[in-house]
Chain A
Amino acid sequence: MARSLANTVLKGIIGSHHRAATCRTLCQQGTIAYYSVSSDAGTHDDFKSISKLADSDISLKDVVEKDVKENPVMIYMKGIPEAPACGFSSLAVRVLKAHGVPIASRNILEDQELKSGVKAFSHWPTFPQIFINGEFIGGSDIILNMHQSGELTEKLKGATTSNTVKRDD
């Protein structure tokens, strides 16, 4: 469990834009060493070895909570934004990209425990899963629907101009 958790974090959040800020924050927590993330960080060997997470009590819930708190637009998906591994994930990324916002992501195909953890966190059975300002938005159908209705534009305004975290309790 601990090792897998470490992998979860070490595989890192892959942003379509530079996500150095996220990494730095993780670093400040003293959980992992600083690293810079490139677009192929998810598979880079450099990210597989360093870890103090094995000794920490960070849980998957904490990982997800942190992700969605620190990243205004967070997507848990199959594949990565540059190469989605599923049509639904691809659709969600395309919708978000159309709004020109920075997207942080994790590839749930790389980690079964992360996948289960995210599902448990959101009580949502499928992927992708999108969080905006810490609020669970839904999957690809919902994001497309909100895009078409104009609601997404409103939601994302807050995501780019404010760090306010709203909870979907």
Chain B
Amino acid sequence: MGVSKEDVEGILTSAMKPTHLQVVDTSGGCGASFEIEIVSEQFEGKKLLERHRMVNAALAEQMKEIHALSIKKAVTPSKWNPIPKVQEE
């Protein structure tokens, strides 16, 4: 039995308490490939690699069946709706 989009959403919701979560099933129905956007307070102070590791860890059990997991965004709420960036060089 494959992993469903709902499974992934459920696990990430309880593990990461996201303020925004978007899981897209990119497998064409077989449930083995997902794209994720996740926004959570738990990412605060964590580097990009650590944030990805947190998502991977939450889905560790499912990863055995998931063929591809693409984490498009894993950010904190403050980074999610940023005030338009003013880049100062």
Contacts and interface: CB of A to CB of B under 8 A. Distances in A.
Given A88-B70, A126-B68, A126-B69, A142 B63 contact: no
B49 A88 contact: no
B49 A141 contact: no
Nearest to A91: B70
A125 interface: yes
A137 interface: yes
A138 B68 contact: no
A162 B2 CA distance: 46
B49 A125 contact: no
A141 B70 contact: yes
A123 interface: yes
A4 B71 CA distance: 33
A138 B69 CA distance: 13
Interface residues of A, number: 14
Given A88-B70, A141-B72, A125 B52 contact: no
A137 B49 contact: yes
B60 to A, nearest CB: 7
Interface string B49-89: 10011001000100100001111100000000000000000
A125 B48 contact: no
Interface in A116-167: 123-126, 136-142, 145-146
Interface in B26-45: none
A129 B62 CA distance: 19
A123 B63 CA distance: 13
Contacts of B70: 88, 140-141
Contacts of B72: 141
A14 to B, nearest CB: 23
Contacts of B52: 138-139, 141-142
Interface string A59-94: 000000000000000000000000000001000000
A79 to B, nearest CB: 15
Interface of B: 48-49, 52-53, 56, 60, 63, 68-72
Please list the 7 inter-chain residue pairs (A to B) with the smallest Cβ-Cβ separation, ordered nearest first.
A125-B63, A141-B71, A138-B49, A125-B56, A141-B70, A142-B48, A138-B52
Given A125-B60, A126-B56, 19 more contacts: A123-B53, A124-B53, A125-B56, A125-B63, A125-B69, A126-B63, A126-B68, A126-B69, A137-B49, A138-B48, A138-B49, A138-B52, A139-B52, A140-B70, A141-B52, A141-B70, A141-B71, A141-B72, A142-B49
